[in-house]
Amino acid sequence: MSEQTFDVVIVGAGLAGAALAASLAELPLRIAVVEAQPLRSGWPPLDAGVAGYDPRVSALTAASQQLLQELGVWGEIAKRRVSPYRDMHVWDAEGTGSIHFSADEVNRPCLGYIVENRLINAALLEKLRFSKQVTLIDGAPVAQLRRCGEGRELLLQNGERLRAPLVVAADGANSRIREWAGFATREWDYGQQAIVTTVQMARDHQRTAWQRFLPEGPLAFLPLGDAKELDSSDEHGYCSIVWSADDHRASELMALDDDAFARELGRAFEHCLGEVVSLGRRFSFPLR
């Protein structure tokens, strides 16, 4: 068994863990990032069609975009595939209440950006791979965490031991590090599922984020970009949808075939962007 000592060990190389490591990499610190799964090197392919998008996307605020800019990774993300959204439309399905936000009102080019999670992660990991301060250890689940003097020792399943005065738990909602460290948490179930997929609509999404509040939960249409530059004026019909519904209703929607689901989705969205032309694989996540 080998043993290594670091100033900081970050467990989890997802968006949070990788962003933290990239932020610390400019300091005179020895940093280790430990990831249970093997990490893919390089950039994911940008395939066309609804199947070519990551089903998990993030809506980045100006502050998040600025952080990525300061880390030197935003340019690499932006030249691949992002979607700036300039407007937001939110309305109530059972009443007349609605609200509209525009970038013009705050004198900004856009309100934020919709970006596939895999592209953000790929950019951060590429930066970490070239950092002399960071050691990436992937495909190595943590088997044990224990106190060691003033710090902590991690035992990995591959037999390696890592020591550091600071260990960061960035290993997800069901964090083993948090559990082993004895942090108290509260958890409850909303009794709802979030259905996520990519759709192609008949009409351009107008660089707008749309959200309709239905009795069973909100339905969001988030605009997706293509592989062209940010200032492209071509029409865009791809959106990432998040449809929150009670468990029973979500199960019914997940059981529908693609044509039936597209019809239900179109009705729920009041056909604001026309018909659903095509849709990708659906995923369902419990809301907790």
pLDDT at residue 152 is higher than 50: yes
Residues 24-60 pLDDT 10s = 999 999 999 999 999 988 999 998 899 999 999 999 9
The model's pLDDT over 98-145, given as tens digits with 9 standing for 90+, comes to: 999 999 999 999 999 999 999 999 999 999 999 999 999 999 999 999
Q: Mean pLDDT, to the nearest integer, of 74-84?
A: 94
pLDDT tops 80 at residue 67: yes
Name the residue with tokens 């935003």.
74
pLDDT value at 227 more than 60:
no
Percent of the chain with pLDDT over 90: 88
**C-alpha triplet 119, 123, 125: angle, nearest 5°:** 115
Q: How far apart are CA 166 and CA 177, in angstroms?
A: 12
* Tokens describing residue 169: 């738990």
Task: Could you list the beta-strand ranges (E) of 112-150.
Answer: 112-116, 134-137, 142-148
The set of residues, in sequence order, having a beta carbon less than 8 Å from that of 267 and lying 6+ positions away, is none
Neighbours of 143 (CB within 10 A): 13
**pLDDT bracket for residue 233 (50, 70, 90):** very low
Mean pLDDT along residues 191-198? 97
* Residue 105 Cα distances to 91, 100, 110, 211, 270, angstroms: 19, 10, 10, 19, 27
Q: pLDDT per residue over 50-60, tens digit each? A: 999 999 999 99
